[in-house]
Structure 1
Amino acid sequence: MDDNTDGDDAPARTRAAAVSDTATLGPTDRVIPTWTEPLARAGSTPLGGPLGVHAVIGRHWFWTPLRAALLIALIGLTIGWFGKAACVQQHFSPETKKLELDWRSNRPFTAMCYSDIIPLYSAEQLDKGGFPYQTSWYDDEGKPTQHQRWMEYPVLTGLFQWVNAKLTDGWMKIANAGWLPTGLAVTVFFDISAFWLALAWLVTIWAVARTARRRPWDAALIAASPLVMVHAFTNFDTLATACAATALLAWARRRPALAGVLLGIGGAAKLYPLFLLGALLVLCVRAGRMRAFYTAAGAALATWVAVNLPIAVLFPRGWWEFFHRNSLRGADPDSIYNVITQFTGWQGFDGPLAFNESPVWLNLVTLVLFLACCAGIAYIALHAPIRPRVAQLGFLVVAAFLVTNKVWSPQYSLWLVPLAVLAVPRWRLLLGWMTLDALVWAPRMMFYLGDDKKGLPIDWFMSFVVLRDLAVIGLCVLIIYEIYHPTRDLIRMGGEDDPAGGVLDRAPDKFVLRKRVKELVG
């Protein structure tokens, strides 16, 4: 591998620039879903059927594939908001003589409307007005399990909550003066948070549509995803998906520094966007484009440090809480380790643990398994006959983390949606996986309701978790198959190499673990 081969010859650069410039793509260059996707063809029946052979494409003054996707997303996000709205209903309590959240009769579980955003408003002391990472409190006060707590989210997610809490305070002051509608502060906090999270998901869709180039209609699959209808407002994960998706777009546009900055911002909100650097590393090694990788990785590291350093210096213990709490967590209900425990009676790698005792062996095993998967993915990237696409490798890395990790919170599946649409844009397959993944929420809520309240036994929940894991693993197997059989890859079947590749798009290989079988793309 020669780091000095970062530049191609001028004709190759010209061809790559032409392919990467969406402005050069005419209407006839688009992939028409009603011609290529049975799902879209069937869905178009109420609207008049598939697009006609002689239809004029790309001439409407307003409706573009992106705007249609954004409209679908607004409908999906509205459904998602109404799905959570039952948990911010209010009632007048005769005991306290004031308005309270109506969580009577286990509403969060019976209505399946639970959202972390609602309890976090008070649990993270946001309603008290303190600054995250500086403010601490005691859980289980007066009990043997009493312990000191700080904000347990990464810096940008914690600050996002704090800013929304301040906006809530401002709203309530204006509302109390009679200028705005009023209600419980936690309801206002949820609605303000939901607004920004919805905007972040729209940004995610915009970035994916731009990155997909010839397949802008694939963004509609993200917009209509059942996962977003269930989990867009379960936590704060759409902030990270927006950063990861825009970073891929910046990389596709040959702006590695901007891509790195966006990955660093995303990593300061949720850790997973930084995993994409691993995919870029092995692909850049294969193509000999290490300069672009160093630029992106350096920008990502500098951005992450710039965001975290002030909090780490001023409030080191509060900043460390996120890492501390993660080290103490045991196997999450949605993890494969808990599935094995529930079905076999296995006591786990560490056995019974005392309060606040870290599961050292579980932490080590999950780390080793994830690194082993990353090594396998790196081998595939360097051994495949044609260099894999960025989205393919990105999906494999993030999926490997979720499958091997001790925590798979339900909303984490949102991380996979943009990557899946770019990696394997097979509509029926992806919609089936996303529907199954979204359905895990129902037995999860019914299990938390408890047997004594006519909830479901844990076996139902665990069975759906296994099906979800198998579906994700199945997607990984399909992606690996298409990496080794690029003629089956829908993107490369259309004549493209890697729409998200940027400097990697149509770049010749410089380092491989075997010689290319044959030149399948120009």
Structure 2
Amino acid sequence: MPVHADDTDSLGADERVRPTWTEPLARAAAKPLGGPVGRHAAVGRQWFWTPLRVVLLLAVVTLSFAYLQKSPCIQQYVDANGTVQLDWRGSKQFTALCYSDTVPLYTAERLDKPDTFPYKTSWVDDEGKPTEHVRYMEYPVLTGMFQWLNARMAQGWTRIAETGWLPNPMTVIVYFDITALWLALAWLVTTWAVVGLARRRPWDAALVAVSPLVVVHAFTNFDTLATAFATAGLLAWARKKPLVAGVLLGLGGAAKLYPLFLLGPLLLLCWRADRMKAGLTTLSATLATWAVVNAPIAYLYPDGWREFFRLNTERGVDPDSLYNVVAQWTDWRGFDPGLLPGQAPEVLNTVSAVLFLLCCAAIGYVALSAPTRPRLPQLGFLVVAAFLLTNKVWSPQYSLWLVPLAVLALPRWKPLLAWMAVDALVWVPRMYFYLGVENKGLPIDWFLGAVLVRDVAVIALCVLVVREVYRPSLDLVRRTGDDDPCGGFLDEAPDKRVLRVPRRAAPRHA
């Protein structure tokens, strides 16, 4: 009888993967603690320090370092006029590598004004210039409301603090602290869900807990909300709760778009295994949840609701995109030279969309032609990685999307930590490029080179995943006796529909 994702307590000692036996990094890290676990050690008997609790403790420590990494940007000082100011003097946000979108967005999105409401409140950017245009909250509905609620809580704290009962820093600092608390809890949920999804390999979730990307980007933006919903949705699917999975994925899609990309791989695998009823239940619940969250804002404030889609349509290439790397290192002027303000780069948008769809078609071919049905995280990782590589925007915190999927798809500690370290280090040349050469910053070539190395690292992980899809004997998860711990209805299901690829017969020799 196969063990389900919520039955890990019933695993025997021989059924649990011991990383100090299988991973050289874990073996080396265990030396100060007595070395690898012994062959006759009692495994699974500890009543308190379970793998889940240890991994969550590691995540708390890592998130503490993440807060310290951003802390230089939430200091204040009193200027010559006796006014308390946020201490970003001398471009500290770049020189201290502590920049976070949450701080400037507090005023940029008009969250500092108590009489405003996201998607209803508008303002004018570049007033009096040819580029003048009306703006609204630029984030998806759930993320926009998350910011607004945190701002209201921060302002409430300030009002109470004025009575002398509480410490009274600047409201924007309180706003950052409240936001960071929720984002940290969201990453803990992400880590918890990965432990449940890993089944026999719970210690793999330690890579999620201690990822260098968490130190740098957990509080750069609001993306841990989406990773929490997406990973919890996968856990609900693994536990054969398709309706709950759909609700969670729908909430994730209302926070960031990427959780919706997981539906494609899920439906493809359901089709291959003839489990479409469960897949369509999840799809329907996802779309219904997304619609329920978005409908009130779309109906009441349609212009504000469309702002997220408008900005993503009209924006050009992001500094972190491959398109920008090519443009900067060649004389190429891009797909849409000479655009006017507010004019969408239609050719760039088309090329980006077509490349992503071509990648999805290739992943679909892999899903249906592999000799053994791929595991859900393998395809999910490939789709999200393809989106990031082909998209015109790769904001640095987007890399957090890949972390839980990569750990579940390819639990090989050395290549994963190597990629995470490289990806996290892109932050350094990025910040010093933004500082400007005139301010002793770095020229753009350092930043572009780091971006290229990161992209090559992600492509290398994709190659390793595809290799293990076509050679399941190399898949560490399947070596332990599992089929697909994240598969839910797909786990141990027989293949019903397989794309048979004709092979050329070997030539006959006379």
Aligned to 1:51: 37
CA contact (8 A) 2:16 2:201 kept: yes
Structure-to-structure mapping, 1:474-513, within 5 angstroms: 474-513=460-499
- Size of the aligned set, in residue pairs, is 502
Contact 1:389 1:500 in 2 (8 A): yes
Distance 1:498 1:516, change over 3 A: farther
Residue 260 of structure 2 is matched in structure 1 by 274
2:365 counterpart letter in structure 1: Y
* Counterpart position of 2:206: 220
**Counterparts of 1:126 and 1:487 in 2: how far apart (Å)?**
53
Select 2:330's aligned residue among 320, 337, 344. 344
**Among candidates 348, 354, 360, match of residue 340 of structure 2:** 354
The answer on whether the counterparts of 2:15 and 2:480 sit within 8 Å (CA) in structure 1 is no
**Which runs of 5 or more residues in structure 2 are unaligned?**
504-510
SS of residue in 2 equivalent to 1:194 = helix
Given candidates 77, 80, 101, the residue that maps to 2:86 is: 101
Matches of 2:159 and 2:361 in 1, distance apart?
A: 55
CA distance in 2, matches of 1:18, 1:395: 22
Whole-Å Cα distance in 1 between the matches of residues 317 and 221 of structure 2? 19
Pick aligned residue for 1:187 from 173, 181, 188: 173
2:128 maps to 1:123: no
Q: Deviations over 1:361-410 (max 9, x none)?
A: 00011100101100000000000000000000000000000000000000
Distance in 2 separating the partners of 1:221 and 1:350: 41
- Quote the Cα distance in structure 2 between the aligned partners of 1:244 and 1:90: 36
Q: Report if aligned partners of 1:261, 1:299 keep a CA contact under 8 Å in 2.
A: yes
Q: Give the match for residue 404 of structure 1.
A: 390
Say whether 1:250 aligns with 2:236. yes
Contact 1:391–1:419 (CA<8 Å) still a contact in 2? yes
TM-aligned CA deviation for residue 345 of structure 1: 2.2
Structure 2 contact 73–92 (Cα < 8 Å) conserved: yes
TM-score w.r.t. length of structure 2: 0.97
1:183-205 superposed Cα distances (whole Å, 9 cap, x missing partner): 10000000000000000000000
Q: Deviations over 1:200-228 (max 9, x none)?
A: 00000000001110011111111000000
**Offset of residue 151 of structure 1:** 0.1
Q: State how 1:374-393 maps to structure 2 within 5 Å.
A: 374-393=360-379
Please show how residues 99-498 of structure 1 align to structure 2 within 5 Å. 99-129=84-114, 130-498=116-484
Contact in 1 for aligned 2:368/2:499 (Cα 8 Å): yes
1:168-190 alpha-carbon deviations (Å, 9 max, x no partner): 01100111111111110000000
Q: 1:297 to 1:516 in 2, by over 3 A?
A: farther
Tell me, what secondary structure is at the counterpart of 1:126? Answer: coil
What are the Cα deviations for residues 104-136 of structure 1, in whole angstroms up to 9, with x where unaligned?
111000001000000000000000121100001
Alpha-carbon separation, structure 1, partners of 2:336 and 2:416: 37
Q: Is the 8 A contact 2:208 2:403 kept in 1?
A: yes
Q: CA deviation at 1:60?
A: 2.1
In the alignment, which residue of structure 2 is the partner of 1:70? 56
Any conservation in 2 of the 1:482–1:488 contact (CA below 8 Å)? yes
Please, what is the CA RMSD of the aligned residues? 1.3
Contact map agreement 1:386 1:516 (CA 8 A) in 2: no
Given the superposition, is the C-alpha separation of residues 18 and 395 from structure 1 closer, same or farther in structure 2, using an over 3 Å criterion? Answer: closer
Which of 11, 17, 20 is equivalent to 1:34? 20
State the distance in 1 between where 2:67 and 2:6 align. Answer: 36
Q: Secondary structure at the match of 1:369?
A: helix
